[in-house]
Amino acid sequence: MSVIRLGDTAPNFTTQSSLGEINFHEWLGDSWGILFSHPADYTPVCTTELGTVAKYKSEFEKRNVKTIALSVDGVSSHQGWIKDINETQNTEVDFPIIADEDKKVSTLYDMIHPNADNNLTVRSVFIIDPDKKVKLIIVYPASTGRNFEELLRVIDSLQLTAYHKVATPANWKNGEDCVISPAVSNEQIPELFPKGHKEVKPYLRLTPQPNL
């Protein structure tokens, strides 16, 4: 097991997937990436999750994000299950699912939490930027399907704050006011944020979203 923390380079690997052999870093290229594990093929919650990711294809593409799933099932299991996902979720899964039968990738990314389940991966999410740095890690239990709207929201925040000196407040959604980074002095504000700002407290300064 390795510990992966925010800001670390996402460990690279070469592995089998439903779409053939993949070298993770080469596959990512210049894109952002979401690597997410699920406990097992042919299970109900996972079926809805992968169907949802497929349905959000255009939302991920708009944000230059590639998605890749993982479980410890094999390639032929993935390929059979994809047909079920497409049929039941009325979509087309065209992103790869890693076949991690030897648990190489799930061990590398610490996706098996033995006190939850000794053999199956939990619902881990890693968001990786184009420099291959890990920008977000979330872990959900098997019993709770993920909210992919939240992952899109987080990507919007990560991409915004990567290029502008702002942070996003609680429950922020794309289009709403942002917090000016504490590292920005009041003197710098007019040049950096020409749309204006509101000082609620000296340490809490709001500005319209700068990239709109």
**What residues are paired with 20 via a beta bridge?**
17
Nearer to ligand BEZ, 70 or 142 (CB): 142
Lookup: tokens for 56: 């959000």
Determine if 84 is a binding residue for ligand BEZ (CB under 6 A): no
Determine if 20 is a binding residue for ligand BEZ (CB under 6 A): no
Nearer to ligand BEZ, 28 or 125 (CB): 125
46 tagged catalytic: yes
C-alpha span between 13 and 114 (Å, rounded) = 22
Determine if 143 is a binding residue for ligand BEZ (CB under 6 A): yes
Determine if 139 is a binding residue for ligand BEZ (CB under 6 A): no
* Active-site entry in 28, 34, 46, 180: 46
CB of 123 to ligand BEZ, least distance (A): 9
Determine if 44 is a binding residue for ligand BEZ (CB under 6 A): yes
Determine if 45 is a binding residue for ligand BEZ (CB under 6 A): yes
Q: Which residues bind ligand BEZ (CB under 6 A)?
A: 39-40, 43-46, 142-143
Catalytic residue list: 46
